[in-house]
């Protein structure tokens, strides 16, 4: 298709406004049309006359209700107030049938809009005011009487059903918003995956360069400066350089192999005993003590406590970086490492070193032997480690005349992770209200009939109890829909044998409402989707059989003796009549299930694709770093081992500095995203001895 031809298919600019107008006005106009069909349409159809003045008032009321409902999406409370006032006051001046659709359907729609667009407390207050206002109007119009309260029971139940459906809609929209947020975060992680992986790899490489190679330079320089007075240090320095160089090579080779062959395991959910963390820190401190740096470690954590693996790695990495900085900038100065548990689910790591002094410099061998070795990434790397597990890190000079440097990190004992959470408080009440308020519709019509017919108190209580028992299994309709439907179907058979309830109309109304809800639940939640249609004929047979049994309880069915054949024909006929409404309920549930499955499936697919892309981006970055390590760093690290094994002490420090420079260049490429292996201008001359680098 040519670009010019595409203009013909472009939606006009007014299309969104037109669609919005249709959405606002279609339902209110349908409510008004329904009211006009009921009254005066049905009345005129029956041959009865209506008063023109009443028709005029009814049309004016319908216009007002339509206008109020048109505001339901922008101002739902105003819409509800308008509908209630017009519908209820209209009953005082026109026949009740003239506003019955407004009082039931219109108010239910307005309550639904309030529930879907506000909160549960606001919704419940609105429904309470609505019911109270209706009771006052009913008392003014009809007086006091139990029979007149049936309308209020029915209206209140319908409004609560609308509120429940509205809160369910609000929950659905909130879930979709949360899913959209998860997808957006996943896409953001996909966009940042390469950058995040570069930062993580930069921390690992920085640890190698800072700890291993810096130790070689410091030891070789110290041995060189003291060669005249302590010649035995030369052999120790060569042996240390060779051993440390081999450790560096082994570490780099393992890193390359890991980058080349597999994705890194996520062990953020693993834990290890706090004692093991103390042992790791003790081993780290012992290594620095051998280099002439006095280090004291204190781990004050509750016995038996556990620390997340990711948090333990962060503590170890921050401590190692801080000790390496102390070795560089305050060689020989005492350092204290403390890990404390303040019993609030967090760990506090503190590393404090005293100020660098001339005495400590002489003790370590020579002043400034570690200058020029830093990459400028120490503090940033420590902050990134802390942030990666949900913690914080600060570093700076110690206050007071003693001076020195302090690093403090506060980390959660276990990194935050998503998981199933139980719902408590108002959120839990909201969830349960949305789930179960629709059950009031199952009780509404039977309860209205119960209050509307003349019965003694005992009969009302007995019928009400049976009605509640029949509806009770529907509380489990989401988790066990088939079991709930079976229980409701069995409960239907209680009506034919209950005194005062043998009317088949009662069986059809009370049992039919409950079975409609049960069949809908099976269609929406019941096991295999297409097999759930079996619930329709099953429910129709159960309800038809119960109604036929109620009709034949006195031994007569349709004026004839109730024989087996007559009862069988009656059951079959009733079941056929019940199939359409029950089938419609099943189709509604099945449609909800299909839409839910489609929407959540699409969301899961998009989220999975975003996660896959993020993993792929991180993997590509790992391959890039592996290539840079193989081409630029490994050879220079091997040179350190070679010159140390050949006994050339004077070349050990320069070789280690060259390896550090190569590592720093690779770290620089990770910081700015340039391809590994390409030279960076700021890396030229970075390995020259004595070049000043800012502290940490």
DSSP 530: G
Nearest CA-CA partner of 297 in 364, 356, 351, 378: 351
Average pLDDT over all residues of the chain:
78
The token pair that represents 242 in the structure block: 């060779």
Supply 534's token pair.
């079996």
Res 34: pLDDT: 93
- Residues 211 and 619: their CA atoms lie apart, in Å, by 26
Output helix, strand, coil percentages for the chain, rounded to the nearest 5: 70, 5, 25
Q: Is the pLDDT of residue 1 over 60?
A: no
Q: Is the pLDDT of residue 611 over 50?
A: yes
**Where is average pLDDT lowest: 486-500, 539-553, 579-593?**
486-500
Kindly write down the DSSP assignment for every residue of 431-450, as one continuous string.
Answer: HHHHHHTTHHHHHHHHHHHH
For the chain, the structural domain boundaries read 17-144, 196-291+443-673, 306-356+379-412
Task: Using the predicted structure, report yes or no on whether residue 366 has a pLDDT greater than 50.
Answer: no
Torsion 326-327-333-335 (CA) sign: positive
Task: Give the length of the chain.
Answer: 696
Q: In this predicted structure, which of 86-100, 338-352, 361-375 has the lowest mean pLDDT? A: 361-375
Could you read off the pLDDT of 483-512 as tens digits, one per residue? 999 999 998 988 888 765 567 887 888 889
pLDDT recorded at residue 377: 58
Q: Residue 363's pLDDT band (boundaries 50, 70, 90)?
A: very low
Q: What is the average per-residue pLDDT within 537-564? A: 83
Q: How far apart are CA 309 and CA 348, in angstroms?
A: 16
Q: Is residue 514 a contact partner of residue 487, using CB atoms and an 8 Å limit?
A: no
- pLDDT bracket for residue 645 (50, 70, 90): confident
Residue 577, both tokens: 């009549």
Amino acid 528: pLDDT:
82
Tell me: pLDDT of 6 over 60: no
Helices (H), 494-563: 504-506, 512-525, 535-551
- Is residue 238 within 8 Å of 650, Cβ to Cβ? no
Which has the closest alpha carbon to 65: 111, 18, 17, 31? 31
Token representation of residue 376:
């400028």
Rounded to the nearest 10°, the torsion over CA 303, 308, 312, 314 is -140
Rounded distance, CA 480 to CA 543, Å? 20
| CB contact burial 98-129 (16+ within 10 A = b; e otherwise) | bbbbbbbbbbbbbbbbbbbbbebeebeebbee
Q: Return the higher-pLDDT residue of 194 and 369.
A: 194
Dihedrals phi, psi of 352, to nearest 5 degrees: -125, 130
More confident residue, 226 or 276: 276
- pLDDT tens profile 408-422: 999 887 765 444 444
10 Å CB burial of residue 66 (0-12, 13-18, 19+) is: buried
Interatomic CA distance for residues 135 and 79, integer angstroms: 20
Please compute the mean of the pLDDT values over residues 4-19 and round it to a whole number. 62
Could you give the angle at which helices 149-207 and 309-329 cross, rounded to 10 degrees?
40
Q: Looking at the domain 306-356+379-412, which fold is it?
A: Heat Shock Protein 90 (3.30.565)
Beta bridge partners of 409: 349, 393
* Distance between CA atoms of residues 446 and 493, nearest Å: 16
* Residue 303 binned pLDDT confidence (cut-offs 50, 70, 90): low
Phi/psi region, residue 389 (left: phi>0; alpha: psi -120 to 50; beta: rest), is alpha
Reading the block at residue 608, the tokens are 């999975």
Check pLDDT > 50 for residue 120: yes
Given the DSSP bridges, would you call strands 306-308 and 346-353 parallel, antiparallel or unpaired? unpaired
Give 317 or 666, the one with higher predicted confidence.
317
- Is this model's pTM higher than 0.75 or not? no
For the record, the structure tokens of 176 come out as 């979709």
pLDDT surpassing 60 at residue 367:
no
- For the chain, the maximum distance between any two Cα atoms, rounded to a whole number of angstroms, is 128
Cis-peptide into 40, omega within 30 deg: yes
Q: Of 140 and 112, which is predicted with more confidence?
A: 112
Among 118, 121, 127, CA closest to 158? 127
pLDDT band at 217 (very low <50, low <70, confident <90, very high): confident
Give whichever of 19-23, 219-223, 324-328 has the largest mean pLDDT: 19-23
Residues 6+ apart with CB under 8 A from 479: none
CB contact at 8 A, 307 and 414: yes
Find out whether 490 and 466 touch, Cβ atoms under 8 Å.
no
Mean pLDDT value across residues 298-321: 82
pLDDT at 417: 45
Rounded-to-integer distance, Cα 163 and Cα 639, Å? 76
What pLDDT is stored for residue 115 in this prediction? Answer: 94
Give per-residue burial for 665-689: e unless 16+ CB within 10 Å, then b.
bbbbbbbeeeebeeebeebeebbee
Beta bridge partners of 393: 409
Output phi, psi for 242, to 5 deg.
-65, -45
């Amino acid at each position: 298709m040519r670009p010019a031809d595409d203009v013909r298919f472009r939606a006009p600019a007014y299309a969104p406004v037109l669609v919005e107008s249709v959405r606002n006005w279609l339902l209110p106009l349908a409510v008004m049309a329904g009211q006009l069909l009921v009254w005066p349409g049905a009345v005129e159809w029956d041959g009865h006359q209506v008063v023109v003045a009443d028709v005029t008032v009814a049309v004016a009321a319908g216009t007002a209700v339509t206008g109020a409902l048109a505001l339901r999406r922008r101002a739902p409370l105003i819409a509800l107030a308008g509908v209630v006032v017009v519908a209820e006051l209209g009953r005082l001046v026109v026949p009740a049938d003239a506003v019955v659709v407004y009082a039931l359907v219109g108010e239910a729609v307005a309550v639904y809009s309030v529930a879907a667009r506000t909160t549960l407390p606001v919704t419940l207050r609105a429904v309470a005011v609505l019911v109270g206002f209706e009771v006052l109007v009913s008392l003014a119009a009809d007086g006091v009487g139990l029979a007149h309260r049936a309308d209020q029971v029915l209206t209140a139940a319908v409004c609560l059903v609308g509120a429940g459906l509205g809160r369910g809609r609000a929950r659905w929209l909130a879930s979709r918003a949360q899913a959209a947020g998860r997808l957006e975060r996943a896409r953001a992680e996909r966009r940042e995956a390469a950058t995040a992986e570069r930062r993580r790899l930069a921390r690992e490489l920085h640890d190698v360069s800072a700890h291993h190679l810096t130790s070689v330079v410091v030891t070789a320089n110290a041995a060189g400066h003291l060669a005249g007075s302590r010649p035995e240090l030369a052999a120790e320095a060569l042996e240390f350089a060779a051993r440390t160089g081999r450790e560096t090579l082994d570490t780099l080779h393992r890193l390359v192999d890991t980058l080349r062959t597999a994705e890194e395991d996520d062990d953020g959910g693993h834990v290890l005993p706090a004692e093991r963390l103390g042992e790791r820190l003790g081993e780290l401190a012992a290594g620095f003590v051998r280099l002439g740096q006095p280090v004291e470690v204190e781990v004050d954590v509750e016995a038996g406590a556990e620390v997340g693996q990711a948090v333990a790695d962060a503590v170890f990495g921050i401590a190692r970086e801080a000790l390496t900085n102390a070795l560089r900038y305050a060689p020989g100065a005492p350092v204290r490492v403390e890990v404390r548990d303040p019993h609030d689910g967090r760990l506090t790591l503190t590393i404090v070193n005293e100020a660098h002094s001339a005495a400590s410099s002489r003790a370590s061998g020579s002043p400034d032997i570690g200058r020029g070795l830093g990459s400028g990434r120490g503090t940033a790397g420590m902050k990134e480690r802390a942030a990666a597990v949900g913690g914080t890190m600060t570093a700076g000079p110690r206050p007071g005349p003693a001076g020195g440097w302090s690093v403090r990190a506060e980390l959660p004992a276990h990194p935050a992770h998503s998981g199933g959470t139980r719902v408590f408080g108002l959120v839990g009440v909201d969830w349960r209200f949305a789930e179960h308020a629709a059950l009031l519709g199952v009780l509404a019509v039977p309860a209205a009939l119960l209050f509307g017919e003349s019965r003694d108190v005992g009969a009302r209580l007995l019928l009400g109890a049976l009605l509640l028992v029949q509806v009770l299994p529907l509380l489990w309709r989401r988790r066990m829909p088939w079991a709930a439907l079976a229980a409701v179907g069995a409960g239907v058979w209680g009506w034919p044998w209950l005194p005062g309830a043998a009317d088949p109309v009662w069986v059809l109304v009370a049992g039919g409402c409950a079975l409609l809800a049960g069949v809908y639940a099976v269609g929406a939640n019941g096991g295999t989707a297409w097999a759930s249609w079996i619930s329709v004929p099953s429910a129709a047979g159960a309800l038809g059989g119960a109604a036929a049994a109620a009709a034949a309880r006195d031994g007569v069915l349709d004026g004839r003796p109730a024989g087996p054949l007559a009862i069988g024909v009656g059951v079959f006929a009733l079941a056929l009549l019940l199939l359409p409404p029950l089938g419609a309920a099943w189709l509604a549930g099945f449609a909800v299930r299909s839409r839910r499955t489609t929407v959540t499936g699409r969301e899961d697919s998009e989220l999975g694709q975003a996660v896959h892309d993020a993993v792929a981006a991180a993997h590509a970055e790992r391959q890039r770093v592996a290539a840079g390590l193989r081409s630029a760093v490994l050879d220079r690290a091997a040179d350190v081992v070679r010159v140390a094994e050949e006994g050339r002490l004077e070349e050990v420090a320069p070789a280690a500095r060259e390896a550090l420079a190569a590592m720093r260049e690779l770290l620089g490429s990770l910081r700015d995203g340039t391809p590994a292996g390409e030279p960076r201008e700021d890396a030229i001359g970075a390995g020259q001895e004595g070049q000043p680098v800012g502290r940490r």
